């Protein structure tokens, strides 16, 4: 080996040594940050659990590290069709939050976080169906017996007629769902449900048209009631108006008859006074009025010589 080869070898060996040290160090050291927790595995078996953040050492090339979330994770389920105790077919959509509390047990039972989501799919959906189907719809929709505000009195009366009463309410039912779904999760899988909530409740699509028909029928019934009430009030108002009109006409007729009677009395009194003052003239004018009312061009009179008619006519012809 010549000097050049020796010199080259002396340069390569330190480089190889440094690279080897870097590779060994990178395989021997690992970091667990504050958001994670880790399980050290040797030949497929867990040998160590690290939950505190920091720099740690493991056997290089022999041991491997599996990281799991230490933070709270979200679970979002699919809507479930459930028949309530009062036979209402509804769709319930839920969501939850969970965390890994025992990474060793979680690794040995499930291995991956996606499998934890699958376990929650089963247990939460089962708990939701069991609890929701055991209660009437109003227990799931409402929390208290607080009186609701309605746009019409009829809707309020219809709600009162249903005798809706809430014993537990939605919040307590959600707690029951959480308790049932959380039972045994920590012991079996090393995970825990932090919270469960109902995100959305609605009637299933096949039932919604029937609900709209029921609402439409209810509104039509209320409209017909308003219309009937309006007609009843109209008849009452028209009756009162006719009664008042008849009273006004009767009072007017009474006043007219009374006025006419007083006028006739005044006329008779005037006639009587005139007769007393000039009985001959009064008799003459009354006879003329009689002529006007009884005699026309088609009238023929046959009078005796001692009648009043003849007397005045005879005097008129003599003059």
53, 33 contact by CB (below 8 A): yes
pLDDT for residue 318: 47
Q: Do 306 and 251 share a structural domain?
A: no
- Whether 59 is in a domain gets the answer yes
- HSE of 120, CA atoms in CB hemisphere, 13 A: 27
- HSE of 292, CA atoms in CB hemisphere, 13 A: 6
Kindly report, residue by residue over 225-247, the tens digit of the pLDDT: 888 888 999 899 988 999 899 88
Q: Do 126 and 18 share a structural domain?
A: no
Q: Do 30 and 124 share a structural domain?
A: no
pLDDT for residue 289: 74
- Whether 2 is in a domain gets the answer no
275, 286 contact by CB (below 8 A): no
Query: Which residue range is the domain that position 299 belongs to?
Result: 290-319
Kindly report, residue by residue over 64-76, the tens digit of the pLDDT: 889 999 999 999 9
Inform me whether the pLDDT recorded for 5 exceeds 70. Answer: no
In degrees and rounded to multiples of 5, residue 261 shows phi and psi of -65, -40
Length of the chain: 319
Q: Report the C-alpha gap between 100 and 71 in whole angstroms.
A: 8
Q: Do 260 and 141 share a structural domain?
A: no
Q: Report the C-alpha gap between 193 and 189 in whole angstroms.
A: 11
Q: Do 97 and 18 share a structural domain?
A: no
Query: Which two structure tokens, joined as six digits, stand for 30?
Result: 């690992």
| Span of 131-135, 309-313, 314-318 with lowest mean pLDDT | 314-318
Q: Do 142 and 183 share a structural domain?
A: yes
Q: Do 78 and 64 share a structural domain?
A: no
- Whether 235 is in a domain gets the answer no
Q: Do 203 and 109 share a structural domain?
A: yes
182, 127 contact by CB (below 8 A): no
Q: Do 213 and 81 share a structural domain?
A: yes
Kindly report, residue by residue over 51-60, the tens digit of the pLDDT: 888 888 887 8
pLDDT for residue 292: 72
Kindly report, residue by residue over 92-120, the tens digit of the pLDDT: 999 999 999 999 999 999 988 889 999 99
CB-based burial label for 194 (10 Å; 0-12, 13-18, 19+): middle
The domain spanning residue 99 has which CATH number? 3.30.479.30
Q: Do 270 and 188 share a structural domain?
A: no
Question: Which of residues 260 and 6 earns the better pLDDT score?
Answer: 260
Q: Report the C-alpha gap between 75 and 77 in whole angstroms.
A: 7
- Whether 285 is in a domain gets the answer no
Inform me whether the pLDDT recorded for 12 exceeds 90. Answer: no
- The pTM for the full model equals 0.58
Number of domains in the chain: 4
Q: Do 82 and 64 share a structural domain?
A: no
Q: Do 198 and 145 share a structural domain?
A: yes
Inform me whether the pLDDT recorded for 319 exceeds 50. Answer: no
Look at strands 191-203 and 89-100 and give their pairing: antiparallel
Q: Report the C-alpha gap between 38 and 16 in whole angstroms.
A: 31
Of 200, 217, 234, at which residue does a domain stop?
Answer: 217
Give the mean model confidence (pLDDT) for residues 32-38: 90
Rg (CA), the chain: 56
């Amino acid at each position: 080996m010549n000097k050049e080869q020796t010199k080259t070898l002396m340069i390569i060996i330190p480089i190889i040594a440094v690279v080897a040290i870097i590779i060994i160090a990178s395989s021997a050291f690992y970091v667990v940050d504050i958001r994670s927790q880790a399980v050290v595995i040797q030949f497929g078996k867990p040998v160590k659990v690290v939950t505190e953040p920091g720099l740690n050492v493991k056997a290089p090339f022999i041991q491997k590290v599996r990281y799991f979330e230490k933070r709270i994770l979200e679970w979002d389920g699919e809507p479930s069709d459930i028949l309530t105790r009062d036979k209402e077919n509804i769709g319930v959509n839920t969501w939850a939050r969970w965390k890994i509390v025992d990474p060793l047990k979680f690794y040995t039972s499930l291995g991956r976080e996606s499998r934890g989501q699958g376990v929650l799919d089963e247990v939460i959906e089962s708990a939701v169906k069991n609890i929701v189907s055991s209660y009437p719809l109003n227990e799931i929709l409402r929390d208290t017996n607080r009186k609701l505000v309605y746009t019409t009195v009829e809707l309020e009366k219809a709600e009162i007629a249903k005798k809706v009463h809430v014993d537990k309410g939605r919040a307590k039912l959600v707690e029951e769902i959480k308790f049932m779904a959380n039972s045994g999760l920590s012991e079996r899988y090393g995970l825990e449900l932090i919270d469960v909530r109902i995100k959305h409740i609605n009637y299933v699509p096949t039932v919604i048209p029937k609900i709209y028909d029921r609402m439409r029928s209810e509104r039509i019934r209320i409209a017909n009631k308003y219309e009937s009430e309006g007609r009843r009030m109209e008849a009452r108002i028209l009756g009162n108006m006719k009664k008042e009109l008849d009273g006004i006409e009767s009072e007017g007729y009474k006043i007219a008859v009374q006025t006419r009677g007083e006028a006739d009395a005044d006329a008779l009194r005037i006639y009587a006074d005139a007769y007393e003052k000039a009985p001959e003239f009064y008799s003459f004018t009354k006879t003329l009025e009689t002529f006007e009312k009884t005699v026309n061009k088609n009238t023929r009179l046959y009078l005796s010589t001692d009648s009043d008619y003849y007397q005045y006519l005879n005097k008129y012809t003599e003059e």
